[in-house]
Structures are given as C-alpha cells and as structure tokens.
Structure 1
Amino acid sequence: MQFLEIIEKTNAFLAEEFEIGVAKISPEAILKDTLELDSLDYIDLVVVIESNFNFKVQPEDFVGIITFQDFYEYVNTKVNAGELV
C-alpha cells in the first residue's frame, strides 16, 4: 500500500468514525485535539486501525504519536512491515 493511499484511507475512516470534516485533518494537526480523543476514544481508534489495516496495535505505540503525520508514518511502517494480524 502506498503512503498516499494510507493517508486517504486513514482520513476517510477517521472522519467517519469521529464525525469530523476531512478538512480539519492535516498532517501537522494534533491527533488528540482534532479528534477530541478521551481514553475510551483511543480504544475505538485502535479497533478502527486494526480492522482497516489488519495489524495489531500495542498501547505503547501511541507514545510518540502526536500529529496526524506521526500517525500516518506509524500506520505506513506497520503495513509495509507486514505485521498483519
């Protein structure tokens, strides 16, 4: 999967799942603030990632994810490493 495909797919499911406009999602935007995530929302986010990209998410993976760009790079790394469920 190409990086641009990952970005487009990620933005689409995040906008739908968290009911925000795709226009609010930009690489430099803060993931937590933009999606208004609380601790339960992170669980939803993990489930959505795992179901859309077929890899297992570890809680510690989120430590370094601040912006959407960080998130895209994380997903890209996991998908292209073949760490599928």
Structure 2
Amino acid sequence: MQTHDEVFTILRAALIELFELAPEQISLEANLYDDLEIDSIDAVDLIDHIKRQTGKKIAAEEFKAVRTVGDVVEAVLRVVNTPAAN
C-alpha cells in the first residue's frame, strides 16, 4: 500500500522525466492541461508510465475525469489500493 505523499513523489518525478517540467510547476493543485500543458497523447504516456511503476492500469474512463495532479494521485491510490480480483 502506498501513501498519498509517496504517490505524489513518484508522479512528480514522472512528470519531470517524461515532460521535462520544472519541479516548481508541479503541485497537487496544478491543472494537467492548463498549467502543465499535458495533452491527450501525453496523458496516454503518463497512464503507461503509471502502469509500469505500479503494475496496475488506470482505466481510460477514470483518467478522463482527472484534471489536476491531485486528481491523478487519488486515481492512482484507488487503483493500487484495490485488491486484485480473483
């Protein structure tokens, strides 16, 4: 199980690495599209990166509702803390 802060740290590092963002641009309140200029193709790359890091995939439908970095953190927490179906 990961904590909110751990997920934010991993996500922040991913945003810096994948999209060459400055660390100070990334806060929980930062809007992915307006503040960080992440487009739909970038979002797919981010979902793929999250899957590689966590071993679990965020559904595209769930990601459509994401607007801020904080929303992504919450979506990741829901996925990684959900027990696997048997």
SS in 2 for 1:34: coil
Q: Measure, in 2, the Cα distance between the counterparts of 1:44 and 1:32.
A: 14
Task: Give 1:1-85 correspondences, 5 Å limit.
Answer: 1-83=2-84
Q: Which runs of 4+ in 1 moved over 3 A?
A: none
Gap regions ≥5 residues in structure 1: none
Q: Deviations over 1:40-70 (max 9, x none)?
A: 2122111111111111122101122111111
Gap regions ≥5 residues in structure 2: none
User: As a proportion of its length, which structure holds more helix?
Assistant: 1
Q: CA deviation at 1:77?
A: 1.2
CA RMSD of aligned residues (A): 1.7
Q: Measure, in 2, the Cα distance between the counterparts of 1:82 and 1:9.
A: 21
Q: Calculate the TM-score normalised by the size of structure 2.
A: 0.84
> Identity of aligned pairs, percent?
35
Q: Deviations over 1:24-48 (max 9, x none)?
A: 0011110122332222212211111
